[in-house]
């Protein structure tokens, strides 16, 4: 096996078992060994450890990369061939038999004090490779020593495993760093290559996160070591430090989605996601200390302990500070809204909230546009604009009031700019209700619906408290309704103020049209039917009127019993007009009936 050229072995690193202070520790361990034996069954536990690993090649690679980083390596090279793969790093390697011992003895580690304290190694990682079903043998070569292990015997033959020291061989040429030759199935080798290079698997590649720590190559191809996009906030808001490690907090998604992994920890290169549902995303890059506790044995998650709670609290408090201290104009309304969602308790103490300006009703809008809003804005609790609740309150003739689902927007020209509260502590806000007292009913021919009124008065009150002051609605058309319809304007429960009834059926009546409620029919079909129902109302209003494409039945409605139509004569507005505006029926009793065409 060939090592890297020009690397430096970290000379003089201290190993716990050679450190004088640890000599006494060893003694202590020995003394307590018999008592420990009362508590554990080492042989069984050892076999149990074999089953602690998942059998994913990603996991074994994780352990190799982690060891390389801990050994101070800068480069890893992996090459594959028919028989398996060779792993090489340029870290400090194994220097002597003691180092081989800490490599293979379960629960033993040979890292220096700093790593011991910060990362709490378990002395198990390399066993993920030895435990893999498809790994036949592993050869560790470092400096002048080499050891080959038959993995099957390693787990099944106690004498073979316990006597591994006898198999350590001295080699002629020093192999710098750590070299691990693995004989394994072709399938496993292929999985390994894919795990590091395949574009579908690259998301969970164990190399991701090591950028700046390790350069990794496989078969001369550079492996992507960057942090995966999903692990950092798509809209960063805060860049801070947590226990001296870089922490970025922001919005998970621009679209307001939430994530199940609201925290990602880059633990000395290894990416660990934390099961934490949130609209925010925090990325913690740990390079010193142990601000969270990774799970054993492979750090595939984070333990939900006090240290994780502290980190979560810190994220929450940093966001609170951010939203309370950033200038209102600079706060992203989406982000603030998410804070109200995720942390309602804290959010209620903020100086700002989210609201959206209500758009005015435009004649011709259908029901889908009846409650349109402008883009949300961040507003201050101190000096809020007019905030209006969704439903208008309508006072009926008998003095009782009811809330109406639609129609508030037709009053906005009267109220001026008004906002809908989106995310806020509503107890801190005075949200007004628009009240409407329609004027007296308009007298219409019989058969016409009694929905038209004089415009009447409006005012601002509370939900259950009428306004103390009323204003006249001059020259404005206002209306409300609860039930839109997709076929017939007659089914919409309109109350209309200040409108010319014919005009209303030609324009504003479309507000009650509900194209969403399609019942599988086409929009054209429904709007045709709705238009026809509006025209029918207009004919009712006109009185003597029939559709432009009238049938005999339409005409016969105007013929008294026992009489007949003798002649139908079209009437034109002028000589040049092509289409008649009305028809005159000559009846058998010599009477004439003029019918407008509409």
Ligand X SMILES: Nc1ncnc2c1ncn2[C@@H]1O[C@H](COP(=O)(O)OP(=O)(O)OP(=O)(O)O)[C@@H](O)[C@H]1O
Residues lying near ligand X in the complex (CB under 6 A) are found at: 63, 67-68, 71, 89, 91-94, 99, 102-103, 109-111, 121-126, 178, 297
Nearer to ligand X, 21 or 553 (CB): 21
Q: How far is the CB of 213 from ligand X (least distance, A)?
A: 13
Of residues 325 through 354, those in contact with Mg ion by CB under 5 A are none
Q: How far is the CB of 122 from Mg ion (least distance, A)?
A: 8
Q: How far is the CB of 41 from ligand X (least distance, A)?
A: 20
Query: In this chain, which of 15, 57, 67, 266 binds Mg ion, going by CB under 5 A?
Result: 67
Torsion, CA 53, CA 59, CA 60, CA 64, rounded to 10: -130
Nearer to Mg ion, 58 or 67 (CB): 67
Nearer to Mg ion, 60 or 431 (CB): 60
Q: How far is the CB of 182 from Mg ion (least distance, A)?
A: 16
Q: How far is the CB of 67 from Mg ion (least distance, A)?
A: 4
Q: How far is the CB of 72 from Mg ion (least distance, A)?
A: 14
| Residue 515 interacts with which of ligand X, Mg ion, none, CB < 5 to 8 Å by class | none
Task: Judge whether 306 and 61 are in contact, CB under 8 Å.
Answer: no
**Strand ordering across the sheet containing 565-571:** 545-546, 592-597, 582-587, 565-571
Nearer to Mg ion, 89 or 332 (CB): 89
Nearest to 173 by CA among 1, 395, 431: 1
CA distances 376 to 326, 331, 357, 425, 594, Å, are 17, 11, 7, 16, 56
HSE-CB of 337 using CA atoms within 13 angstroms: 20
Nearer to ligand X, 84 or 177 (CB): 177
Q: What is the DSSP letter of 183?
A: E
Cis before residue 297, ω within 30 degrees of 0?
A: yes
Q: How far is the CB of 66 from Mg ion (least distance, A)?
A: 5
Q: How far is the CB of 74 from ligand X (least distance, A)?
A: 12
Q: How far is the CB of 92 from ligand X (least distance, A)?
A: 6
| Residue 498 interacts with which of ligand X, Mg ion, none, CB < 5 to 8 Å by class | none
User: Residues 6 or more apart from 86 whose CB is under 8 A from it?
Assistant: 1, 78, 79, 80, 179, 180, 181, 182
Q: How far is the CB of 228 from Mg ion (least distance, A)?
A: 22
Collapsing DSSP to helix, strand or coil, 242 comes out as strand
| Residue 537 interacts with which of ligand X, Mg ion, none, CB < 5 to 8 Å by class | none
| Residue 122 interacts with which of ligand X, Mg ion, none, CB < 5 to 8 Å by class | ligand X
What token pair was written down for 525? Answer: 């079909």
# binding residues, Mg ion (CB under 5 A) = 2
Nearer to ligand X, 13 or 234 (CB): 13
Task: Judge whether 474 and 455 are in contact, CB under 8 Å.
Answer: yes
Task: Judge whether 95 and 8 are in contact, CB under 8 Å.
Answer: no
CA distances 329 to 59, 320, 332, Å, are 47, 16, 8
Task: Judge whether 519 and 488 are in contact, CB under 8 Å.
Answer: no
Nearer to ligand X, 123 or 253 (CB): 123
Q: How far is the CB of 310 from ligand X (least distance, A)?
A: 23
Nearer to ligand X, 64 or 331 (CB): 64
Specify the stretch interacting with Mg ion by CB under 5 A; choose among 122-130, 162-170, 450-458, 588-596. Answer: 122-130
For residue 125, state whether it binds Mg ion (rule: CB under 5 A): yes
| Residue 92 interacts with which of Mg ion, ligand X, none, CB < 5 to 8 Å by class | ligand X
> Distance between CA 315 and CA 308 in Å, rounded?
11
| Residue 89 interacts with which of Mg ion, ligand X, none, CB < 5 to 8 Å by class | ligand X
| Residue 459 interacts with which of Mg ion, ligand X, none, CB < 5 to 8 Å by class | none
Q: How far is the CB of 178 from ligand X (least distance, A)?
A: 3
Nearer to ligand X, 124 or 583 (CB): 124
Specify the stretch interacting with Mg ion by CB under 5 A; choose among 118-126, 428-436, 476-484, 539-547. Answer: 118-126
Task: Judge whether 154 and 136 are in contact, CB under 8 Å.
Answer: no
Residue nearest to ligand X (CB): 125
User: Residues 6 or more apart from 457 whose CB is under 8 A from it?
Assistant: 436, 437, 439, 470, 471, 472, 473
Q: How far is the CB of 94 from ligand X (least distance, A)?
A: 6
Nearest to 388 by CA among 414, 365, 415: 415
Element (H, E) at 271: strand 270-274
HSE-CB of 377 using CA atoms within 13 angstroms: 15
Specify the stretch interacting with Mg ion by CB under 5 A; choose among 63-71, 248-256, 329-337, 458-466. Answer: 63-71
Nearer to ligand X, 180 or 395 (CB): 180
Q: Helices (H) and strands (E) in the chain — how many of each?
A: 16, 26
308-326 burial, b at 16+ Cβ within 10 Å, e below that, comes to beebbebbbebbbebbeeb
HSE-CB of 447 using CA atoms within 13 angstroms: 10
CA distances 39 to 42, 52, 106, Å, are 9, 20, 17
Nearest to 565 by CA among 575, 549, 554: 554
> Distance between CA 99 and CA 105 in Å, rounded?
10
| Residue 93 interacts with which of ligand X, Mg ion, none, CB < 5 to 8 Å by class | ligand X
| Residue 123 interacts with which of ligand X, Mg ion, none, CB < 5 to 8 Å by class | ligand X
Nearer to ligand X, 214 or 460 (CB): 214
Q: What is the DSSP letter of 442?
A: P
User: What share of residues in the chain are helix, strand, coil (percent, to 5)?
Assistant: 30, 30, 40
| Residue 103 interacts with which of Mg ion, ligand X, none, CB < 5 to 8 Å by class | ligand X
Nearer to Mg ion, 122 or 137 (CB): 122
Nearer to ligand X, 124 or 145 (CB): 124
| Residue 94 interacts with which of Mg ion, ligand X, none, CB < 5 to 8 Å by class | ligand X
For residue 225, state whether it binds Mg ion (rule: CB under 5 A): no
Residue ranges in contact with Mg ion by CB under 5 A? 67, 125
């Amino acid at each position: 096996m060939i090592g890297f050229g020009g690397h430096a072995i970290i000379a003089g690193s201290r190993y716990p078992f050679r450190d004088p202070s640890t000599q006494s520790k060893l003694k202590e361990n020995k003394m307590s060994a018999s008592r420990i034996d009362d508590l554990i069954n080492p042989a069984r536990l050892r076999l149990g450890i074999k089953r602690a690993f998942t059998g994913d090649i990603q996991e074994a690679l994780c352990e190799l990369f982690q060891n390389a980083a801990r050994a101070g390596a800068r480069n890893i090279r992996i090459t594959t061939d028919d028989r398996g793969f060779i792993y090489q790093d340029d870290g400090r390697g194994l220097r002597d038999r003691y180092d081989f011992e800490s490599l293979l003895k379960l629960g033993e580690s040979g890292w220096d004090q700093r790593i011991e304290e910060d990362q709490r190694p378990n002395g198990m990682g390399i066993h993920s490779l030895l435990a893999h079903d498809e790994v036949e043998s592993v050869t560790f070569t470092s400096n002048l020593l080499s050891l080959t292990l038959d993995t099957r015997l390693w787990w099944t033959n106690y004498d073979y495993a316990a006597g591994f020291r006898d198999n350590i061989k001295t080699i002629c040429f020093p192999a710098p760093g750590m070299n691990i030759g693995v004989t394994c199935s072709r399938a496993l080798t292929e999985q390994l290559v894919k795990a590091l290079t395949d574009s579908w698997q690259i998301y969970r590649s164990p190399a991701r996160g090591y950028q700046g720590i390790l350069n990794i190559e496989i078969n001369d191809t550079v492996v992507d070591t960057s942090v995966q996009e999903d692990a950092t906030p798509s809209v960063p808001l805060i860049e801070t430090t947590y226990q001296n490690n870089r922490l970025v907090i922001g919005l998970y998604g621009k679209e307001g989605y939430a994530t199940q992994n609201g925290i990602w920890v880059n633990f000395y290169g290894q990416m660990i996601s934390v099961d934490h549902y949130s609209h925010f995303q925090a990325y913690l890059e740990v390079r010193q200390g142990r601000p969270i506790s990774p799970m054993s044995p492979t750090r595939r998650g984070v333990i939900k302990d006090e240290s994780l709670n502290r980190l979560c609290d810190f994220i929450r408090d940093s966001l609170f500070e951010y939203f309370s201290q950033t200038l209102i104009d600079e706060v992203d309304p989406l982000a603030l809204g998410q804070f109200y969602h995720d942390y309602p308790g804290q959010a209620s103490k903020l100086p700002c909230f989210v609201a959206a300006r209500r758009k005015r009703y435009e004649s011709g809008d259908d029901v889908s546009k009846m409650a349109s809003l402008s883009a949300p804005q961040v507003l201050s609790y101190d000096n809020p604009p007019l905030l209006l609740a969704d439903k208008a309150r309508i006072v009926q003739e008998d003095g009782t009031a009811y809330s109406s689902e639609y129609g508030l927007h037709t009053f906005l020209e009267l109220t001026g700019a008004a906002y809908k509260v989106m995310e806020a502590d509503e107890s801190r806000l005075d949200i007004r209700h628009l009240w409407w007292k329609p004027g007296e009913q308009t007298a219409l021919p019989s058969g016409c619906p009694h929905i038209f009124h004089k415009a009447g008065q409006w005012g601002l009150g509370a939900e259950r408290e009428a306004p103390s002051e009323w204003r006249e609605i001059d020259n404005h058309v206002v209306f409300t309704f609860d039930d839109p319809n997709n076929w017939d304007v007659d089914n919409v429960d309109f109350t209309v103020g200040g409108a010319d009834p014919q005009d209303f059926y030609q324009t504003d009546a479309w507000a009650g049209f509900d194209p969403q409620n399609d019942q599988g029919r086409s929009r054209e079909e429904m709007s045709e039917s709705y238009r026809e129902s509006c025209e029918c109302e207009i004919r009712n209003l006109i009185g003597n009127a029939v559709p432009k494409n009238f049938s005999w039945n339409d005409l016969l409605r105007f013929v008294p019993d026992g009489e007949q139509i003798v002649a139908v004569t079209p009437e034109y507005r002028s000589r040049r007009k092509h289409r008649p505006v009305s028809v005159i029926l000559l009846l058998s009793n010599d009477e004439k009936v003029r019918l407008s065409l509409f």
